[in-house]
Structure 1
């Protein structure tokens, strides 16, 4: 094959106080010219280490112990520092995961892009022209003016577009992308995927994408490599991998993706266990301890390499040698991983609302200019006229793009930000205007799971101290803290051995379990969960969501789940509230909304769900463009600037909330579906 990049037998160790971490072991990959290779696997599998090995950007404690990385038949590992610097940017560029940390906040994009071309013997005016051209090519509106702006003046999607443009400034032969859409909403993710595809075809570039998002890999890539615990376990063309996965781990990953679970299921498939420690990795099959088809030979011998029909490979005893099983793999509709340990009992939500929010408004003052303190303050309405209920034993999903006001609403309910209008009632008691001394006892009945599972935990406290901290804050002294920590850890299925660890020693899933245990410490009745699966692998997502379902069934908890992950929220929610630009635009039963959305924004979100199937690649979503600024709301419908169905009335009149015969509430002049109005 005509490979631009060949990785052969690459092994990388990291020196640590506990010993050498064998992060990569005998990695071999070929990257074909003018194609997109996706590297997929759980966190800790070594995906990003492969990328940084290519560019020589490994940490100082890393050591390449074996192998070669051939780029155009030249071993990158043999290059001097000067030769490597000449390759970086010119021949190989990177799109980083977080544009806010990879872009310089005090320099304009014009300056940053000019600096990228420092090797080029061209004038500053010509470099600026090229910067404007590439900004326009990646879809930045009004590039001539916006090229002089700074990263903080761009939205998340525009910053990522600018990052892609910066990576393409030099016309590289190889583009590396590390989780390029991980922080983006589904609508913006679809636009970035199509942008990468178009640019790859136009520039005839070769691309390597690292992601744990199976939908992104299915939509974007031509070839796929699946990694687990520092090894490549399967490779092949994208359709062959997604339609005929042969390694048990690849099958398990695909089955755990909520987007592949048809209909609504309270129990999501999971891969039991965790990735093995890499200080002393398994000598035979690295997946044996978690595999549902494990045999005695799997613990004793290294699995053989079986060639796939499409030319890829899969390393598994089930496919070759003495352990060969002709019945493997089973048909795609046969589940090979468990759907949790035991189904949660059916819940019947109470009729009386536990939480009642009516016409809630939250606004923030905004001042402009250096003399803003002397000027009259402007305000932005982050939450505007929001009404919703949550009943005991019910899960309400609050869905919307970043910046729609979801987290602000959750914080306002818990008195973490002030609200300026409306009503918040908990168990019939009005919370707005209540003094903190009166509100503090109610905090025992309401808890919040924060979005960042590690960042929300004090790095100076052990897991045991973190779990019992709410008891100390509320002065509860009639329980033994150690026994209570062990009880809560057992409740959330957190091994007792982890109680003595600190947050930086935990995986994302373990840190999330600590957050759940903290939220449950005071036996609350309502939990507001802010992005409870953010940053987690699909297998860990299932574990956390199954755990939340079990706890809800046992303790009759009410959940308000804030998320932009639609496949997840479909499976766990009884009802959905769709939020856009601070307003609720639609509320109804979860399955009804997915089957028949009434608001165009809801339809856009549902159509934008990435499908882990290469044959179901999305078209560019109808709602292109950026979310309007809260300082410059449209006069009429908030969604009018992005709505494909907008008419003259939508530009001038804000739509009122209406309720149809099925109890679905929506705010649209021309609702979709049955009974839609006509001009």
Structure 2
């Protein structure tokens, strides 16, 4: 078709491994229409990224394309030699990688990296620099004439991602591939990236293919959707057709598991039972049959037909053939099949009067340079305050969610509570004992009762140790001698529902959800009373998120654990948190019961966070101008008045002159804003 810029047809791909061939892609077909944004969704292991690398010809050496065609502007990319592919990469097809820190060269300034991209162009160095500066300005980098000489580590995460998008658009490509472009970004930066990519699509007439497991992002920015499962395309269609009239049980299950679409709060989240099948085994019938409650005998023996419906296709026996169901699919909004609502969680213990953790007036300060260097430069105060005057408490059996953008001080606060960072001022009390700045010798006994789940589930695990050794290591360190470590490992694996045969595996052999379960088991090995969880659902699929959070809720109900959850995933917070605390630039700007804060945010920053979450419904897209502009200011240049004033749409002159005091709306609800977004009668 004339409007098709890329046509993937019958693509099948294997990976040769020591365990046999892994059939990563099987008969994958879909068109990409010119000038539109196509989203590819599916769980981890479904083959989304593999399709992208097949288009670019950047597959691993053990990959083998067994059949199919990838036609770009009429040319089959699979038949081109390396030189022909290099002429297309970067020029006509460009890519935005998931992690800008690993895709950008840390020892070269951006000016050099942009110049290298234009090595084919007969342009002077000054012309290349001017082109790069102009594109940095278009993607919203402030002072691009100066910032172009910066290095990647001198940019924030959002700015690095903007620079990555600018690099990808520098040559004016016809097709842009984006692999999880907002996974590591908080909600405000995600909203800005969505608006930016939509604007660039219009300005450059570029076609975009986005790979993501974030259904809200797909609904917000895409025109067409491809749903993949276990290496196959199970459904395609325009975005509204997919989100309002999904036909494949797997697509409906994904939508029903999204916390943003689940109306009720509290309790347990729905999940898809089972796991993606082993792609090295021989597969027959429908690949989703083992996880689909509507599966029929024919589903396990015969490949389902590819049925044209609406604006796309779906592979399902329910749509056509002897197993067709005239009542399928059910009306939009009706819970269908493919997901399960687990039984209600056990009743959590009531919050006791005495807090398990209490933080008062906490200040964490980092030095920016040594005292001699500061004296030479004439710097009076060579420090930055990463955490300022923070108060919070966590009771047994309670979940407090700590929310804020990257750079707001959340993780620093968590590490200071666990005595991993020195406290400059204030106090940290655990079970009535003052613990701040304790020597490690005196603090070590308390580590049995205070555990941490780190943000990176794989990076926080030693790659040289098996799962068995990893989850029993705390027992060895704390001298819990006399126990049978093998029996303990099996007990912990059963507790987090990790198959026992995984105990002999190593971290690189685990999926993200499995690695997260290992982290939970490791944190629970000493039966702690408080767990600080840093982004416990980061990078996980919606169904795996539900499994991990349901597991944590069960363990809390059984053991009375207190949770301090550090996250920017607000839909998850709405379901699991009893209370929510909002941080901005090291200060607490709002705190209160989660339901009240979500229903009526008092601080403009909280309002921006809550309203900025992309909702998985294309009919509820946010206006392009609704995202917060700018980024979190540098701690070296903290604003003189309210920290949020430079970005606040409601700021008044008084906001730029004095720090706002803390105001209590109720004994459990407080904020720090001179002009809050609540009625005056509710302010004390």
Q: Please give the TM-score of this superposition, normalised by the length of structure 1.
A: 0.97
Query: For 2:356, which of 354, 357, 362 is the aligned residue?
Result: 354
Query: Bigger CA drift: 334-343 or 103-112?
Result: 334-343
Structure 1 contact 221–238 (Cα < 8 Å) conserved: yes
Q: Deviations over 1:257-316 (max 9, x none)?
A: 111111413210100111111111522111111112111111100001111122x00000
- 1:517 paired residue number: 521
Determine helix, strand or coil for the equivalent of 1:641: helix
Change (3 A) 1:135 1:370: farther
Alpha-carbon separation, structure 1, partners of 2:72 and 2:371: 50
- 2:136 paired residue number: 135
Kindly report which structure 2 residues correspond to 1:477-626, keeping only aligned pairs within 5 A, or say none.
477-619=481-623, 620-626=625-631
Determine helix, strand or coil for the equivalent of 2:185: coil
Alpha-carbon separation, structure 2, partners of 1:324 and 1:519: 48
Change (3 A) 1:370 1:35: farther
- 2:646 paired residue number: 641
Alpha-carbon separation, structure 2, partners of 1:281 and 1:344: 40
- 1:270 paired residue number: 271
Alpha-carbon separation, structure 2, partners of 1:432 and 1:13: 54
Alpha-carbon separation, structure 2, partners of 1:622 and 1:299: 47
Alpha-carbon separation, structure 2, partners of 1:513 and 1:147: 42
Structure 1 contact 191–621 (Cα < 8 Å) conserved: no
Give the superposition deviation at 1:374: 6.0
- 1:297 paired residue number: 298
User: Which structure 2 segments of 5+ residues have no match?
Assistant: none
Give the superposition deviation at 1:348: 1.5
Give the superposition deviation at 1:123: 1.6
- 2:660 paired residue number: 655
Alpha-carbon separation, structure 2, partners of 1:159 and 1:402: 13
- 2:400 paired residue number: 396
Structure 2 contact 348–560 (Cα < 8 Å) conserved: no
Alpha-carbon separation, structure 1, partners of 2:681 and 2:127: 53
Change (3 A) 1:76 1:373: farther
Q: How many residue pairs get matched?
A: 677
- 1:412 paired residue number: 416
Structure 2 contact 348–556 (Cα < 8 Å) conserved: no
Alpha-carbon separation, structure 2, partners of 1:395 and 1:467: 24
Kindly report which structure 2 residues correspond to 1:117-132, keeping only aligned pairs within 5 A, or say none.
117-132=118-133
Give the superposition deviation at 1:623: 2.3
Alpha-carbon separation, structure 2, partners of 1:331 and 1:268: 22
Structure 2 contact 665–682 (Cα < 8 Å) conserved: no
Q: Deviations over 1:525-561 (max 9, x none)?
A: 1111111001111100000000000110010110000
- 2:18 paired residue number: 17
- 1:314 paired residue number: 314
Query: Bigger CA drift: 337-346 or 298-307?
Result: 337-346
Alpha-carbon separation, structure 2, partners of 1:415 and 1:31: 52
Structure 2 contact 101–152 (Cα < 8 Å) conserved: yes
- 1:177 paired residue number: 178
Alpha-carbon separation, structure 1, partners of 2:188 and 2:448: 37
Determine helix, strand or coil for the equivalent of 2:119: coil
Change (3 A) 1:240 1:275: same
- 1:145 paired residue number: 146
Q: Deviations over 1:601-634 (max 9, x none)?
A: 1001001111010011122335210110011111
Change (3 A) 1:425 1:299: same
Match status 1:672 vs 2:671: no
- 2:83 paired residue number: 82
User: Which structure 1 segments of 5+ residues have no match?
Assistant: none
- Considering only aligned residues, what root-mean-square deviation do their CA atoms show, in Å? 1.6
Alpha-carbon separation, structure 2, partners of 1:676 and 1:244: 45
Determine helix, strand or coil for the equivalent of 2:527: coil
- 1:104 paired residue number: 105
Query: For 1:453, which of 454, 457, 462 is the aligned residue?
Result: 457
Determine helix, strand or coil for the equivalent of 1:49: helix
Change (3 A) 1:87 1:67: same
- 1:155 paired residue number: 156
Determine helix, strand or coil for the equivalent of 1:258: coil
- 1:422 paired residue number: 426
Alpha-carbon separation, structure 1, partners of 2:596 and 2:386: 28
Q: Deviations over 1:545-600 (max 9, x none)?
A: 00000110010110000001100111000000001111111110001000000011
Query: For 1:474, which of 478, 481, 487 is the aligned residue?
Result: 478
Change (3 A) 1:488 1:547: same
Give the superposition deviation at 1:39: 0.5
Give the superposition deviation at 1:108: 1.8
Structure 1 contact 528–562 (Cα < 8 Å) conserved: yes
Structure 2 contact 239–618 (Cα < 8 Å) conserved: yes
